[in-house]
Structure formats: C-alpha cells, structure tokens
C-alpha cells in the first residue's frame, strides 16, 4: 500500500467518525425527531458489534474453523485484549466452532454474544474462569502502564525494515520503513523491552510492538508477550490462549 493511499484511508476514517458525530449533534439540536448524540453512538456501537460477528463467521465459512488469533481478522492487539474502533473485545472458544464474544463499549459496559444462540446479551450472561495466564496479563499491565514521568527509552538497534507490517485496528495495515529495539526504564529499573516498528514521516511517530516482548515488575519477575505482526504478507502470530 503506497503512502498516498495510507493517508487517504486515515482521512476517510476520520471524516466518517467526525461526520457521524456531527450529524448526531445537528439532529439533536435542530431535528424534530429528537435523536440524540448518545443514540447515534448506540447505533454505531450496534453496527460495530455486528461487524465483528460478521468477520468471525465469515472466517469460519471460508476455513471451516475458528481463528486461532483475532489478529487473523485484523483486530489490534493490546496488552491483554483486542480492540476494534476503540472498543475492547475477546473471544472464548467453545466446541464445534461455537464461540462467545465479550465486548466492552466506550462506556465500559460489557456485552456478550453467543454464536450458538446468535444473540447479544447486555449483561454477563455466561461465566468463565479467568484465563490461565491472568497473572502474566496483570504483570504486563503493571509494566506497560507504569508512570511515564521518569521513564526513559534506550535504543539498542535501529534499522530499515520493509518487510514488517504493523497490524492496525479496522484492518488498516501501515507499511513501516524502520524498526528498533527499545528498552524502557523507570529511573534505573528496566520495565520492558522489545522490537517496535515505526513510520517517522507520520506525525506523531507511530510505534507498534512486534515479536517477543519482556515486561518486568521490579521484583525480579519477567513476563513474556508475543505481539503478532506480518512479514512478507504472512501473519506471524501465537494462538490466543
């Protein structure tokens, strides 16, 4: 994807979001129907949830199986979950290609979707045990969101790399031209380290982790996370677990 097209995609996405909010605001202020901004957001959120289900079911129809990672569908990884248009989501794999989705809207409300019932629940309808790596997720969060006031970054390596493509939200893929190995310190304590891709001609510079990262809690414990990425158009990932 060339640079001009990248900018066009980003601009279209921004115009779509701004246009949606603007229309909702004008209708609320001047329209006789009384549609509010909150109602407009709920409509967009409903569309977003349908889009997520459509992507997962489309993958099952094409391959006959559930995706091993939501990165296969283009969803963006975060330290412990995935995102789509700013909303957090997670998929719980069931038997026979059935699944349950957990989805958090922008207000923090949790929704659940059952593929067997083909129905969304506006509450926690299904109870699940915490993931087996919940301690790892907690350790990564503590390091990832450590106070940044006294944090400094050391660059171990810097190189041109046209093969690695960052996986962005909403299926957008940005072809990066550089990568670096970074170490983050709070005072003299190492908090996290690993490879990032970045695109220096875009302001602000976009950084995206890829490959193996290590996170430290300051008490001698190290936690590992693999950030999925693409290399030569091939998705490199670890299965969700």
Measuring CA to CA, how many Å separate 94 from each of 23, 116, 134? 40, 10, 19
Pair (190, 205) in one structural domain = yes
Pair (151, 215) in one structural domain = yes
Q: Which two tokens stand for residue 148?
A: 């940044």
Predicted local confidence at residue 41, as pLDDT? 77
151 Cβ contact partners less than 8 Å away, ≥ 6 residues apart: 184, 185, 186, 191
Pair (22, 7) in one structural domain = yes
As beta bridge partners, residue 195 has 181, 210
Pair (57, 106) in one structural domain = yes
Predicted local confidence at residue 227, as pLDDT? 94
pLDDT band at 169 (very low <50, low <70, confident <90, very high): low
Residue that has been written with the tokens 């349950």 in this structure: 100
Highest averaged pLDDT of the listed ranges 96-110, 145-159, 203-217: 96-110
Residue that has been written with the tokens 């958090």 in this structure: 104
With a cut of 80, say whether residue 143 has pLDDT above it: yes
More confident residue, 5 or 158: 158
What is the percent of the chain where pLDDT is above 70? 79
With a cut of 50, say whether residue 30 has pLDDT above it: no
**Domain span at 207:** 137-236
* Pair 192, 214: CB distance under 8 Å: yes
pLDDT tens per residue, range 46-96? 889 999 999 999 999 999 999 999 999 989 899 888 988 888 999 999 988
Predicted local confidence at residue 123, as pLDDT? 87
pLDDT tens per residue, range 185-230? 988 889 999 999 877 666 556 688 999 999 998 888 999 999 999 8
With a cut of 70, say whether residue 39 has pLDDT above it: yes
Predicted local confidence at residue 106, as pLDDT? 81
Distance of CA 182 to the CA centre of its chain: 21
With a cut of 50, say whether residue 15 has pLDDT above it: no
- Look at residue 167 and tell me if it is in a domain: yes
With a cut of 90, say whether residue 1 has pLDDT above it: no
Pair (222, 155) in one structural domain = yes
Q: How far apart are the first and last CA of the chain?
A: 32
pLDDT band at 150 (very low <50, low <70, confident <90, very high): confident
How far is 2 from 79, CA to CA, in rounded Å? Answer: 29
Q: Where a domain ends, among 80, 111, 128?
A: 128
Q: How many domains does the chain have?
A: 3
Predicted local confidence at residue 204, as pLDDT? 55
Predicted local confidence at residue 171, as pLDDT? 62
With a cut of 80, say whether residue 152 has pLDDT above it: yes
Region 145-158: mean pLDDT is 83
Predicted local confidence at residue 62, as pLDDT? 96
Mean confidence (pLDDT) of the chain: 80
Pair (64, 124) in one structural domain = yes
- Look at residue 27 and tell me if it is in a domain: yes
- Look at residue 204 and tell me if it is in a domain: yes
- Look at residue 241 and tell me if it is in a domain: no
pLDDT band at 232 (very low <50, low <70, confident <90, very high): confident
- Look at residue 108 and tell me if it is in a domain: yes
More confident residue, 100 or 197: 100
């Amino acid at each position: 994807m060339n640079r001009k097209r990248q900018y066009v995609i980003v601009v279209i996405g921004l115009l779509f979001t701004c246009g949606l909010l603007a229309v909702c605001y004008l209708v609320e202020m001047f329209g006789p129907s009384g549609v509010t901004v909150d109602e407009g957001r709920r409509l967009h959120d409903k569309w977003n949830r349908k889009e997520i289900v459509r992507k997962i079911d489309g993958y099952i129809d094409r391959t006959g199986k559930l995706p091993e990672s939501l990165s296969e569908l283009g969803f963006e990884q975060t330290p412990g979950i995935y995102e789509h248009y700013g909303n957090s989501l997670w998929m719980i794999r069931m038997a026979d290609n059935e699944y349950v989705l957990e989805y958090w809207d922008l207000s923090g409300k949790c929704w659940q979707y059952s593929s067997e019932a083909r129905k969304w629940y506006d509450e926690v309808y299904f109870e699940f045990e915490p993931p087996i790596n919940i301690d790892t997720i907690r350790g990564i969060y503590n390091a990832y969101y450590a106070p940044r006031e006294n944090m400094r970054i050391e660059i171990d390596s810097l190189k041109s790399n046209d093969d690695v493509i960052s996986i962005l939200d909403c299926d957008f893929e940005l072809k990066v031209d550089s990568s670096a190995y970074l170490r983050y310190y709070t005072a003299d304590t190492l908090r996290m380290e690993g490879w990032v891709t970045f695109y220096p001609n875009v302001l602000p510079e976009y950084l995206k982790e890829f490959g193996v990262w290590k996170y430290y809690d300051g008490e001698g414990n190290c936690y590992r996370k693999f950030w999925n990425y693409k290399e030569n158009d091939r998705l490199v990932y670890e299965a969700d677990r």
